[in-house]
């Protein structure tokens, strides 16, 4: 009768240790940025209309990483998830965004 109880205690005691076994993977490089919910004015490449941290035109070394991640638009040369042609992100305030077009 008590053996059953001991078994349960041992099982419960064993669980947290097992859960702690996996160490988080070492970050070799900064993780790739992914499409944000909205454009961040502090991280915006106005000439290319993509977040600066994801701008493969300004940061060509990102190209291979986005390609490897399967998030790259070869037609336009940007990460697919923020490609200004395929998946344009609305520019943040103060970057000549929406509403008033003044170049006539
Ligand atoms: Zn750029
Ligand atoms: Zn595209």
pLDDT tens-digit series, residues 17-42: 555 566 665 556 678 999 999 999 99
CA of 79 to the centre of ligand 1 (A): 12
- In angstroms, the CA 78 to CA 22 distance is 35
- In angstroms, the CA 10 to CA 4 distance is 10
Residue with tokens 């923020």: 82
What ligand is nearest to the CA atom of residue 57?
A: 1
Which residues touch 97 (CB under 8 Å, ≥6 apart)? 90, 91
Q: What is the mean pLDDT of the chain?
A: 82
Q: pTM score, two decimals? A: 0.64
Q: Which among 34, 64, 49 is positioned nearest to 97, based on CA atoms?
A: 49
CA of 72 to the centre of ligand 1 (A): 15
Q: Which among 40, 45, 26 is positioned nearest to 83, based on CA atoms?
A: 45
pLDDT at 30: 76
């Amino acid at each position: 009768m008590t053996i059953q109880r001991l078994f349960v205690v041992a099982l419960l005691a064993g669980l947290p240790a097992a859960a702690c076994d996996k160490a988080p993977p070492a970050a070799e490089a900064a993780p790739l940025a992914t499409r944000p919910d909205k454009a961040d004015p502090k991280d915006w490449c106005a000439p290319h209309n993509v977040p600066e941290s994801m701008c493969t035109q300004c940061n060509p070394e990102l190209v291979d990483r986005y390609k490897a991640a399967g998030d790259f638009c070869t037609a336009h040369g940007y990460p697919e998830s923020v490609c200004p042609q395929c998946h344009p992100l609305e520019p943040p305030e103060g970057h000549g965004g929406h509403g008033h077009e003044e170049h006539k």
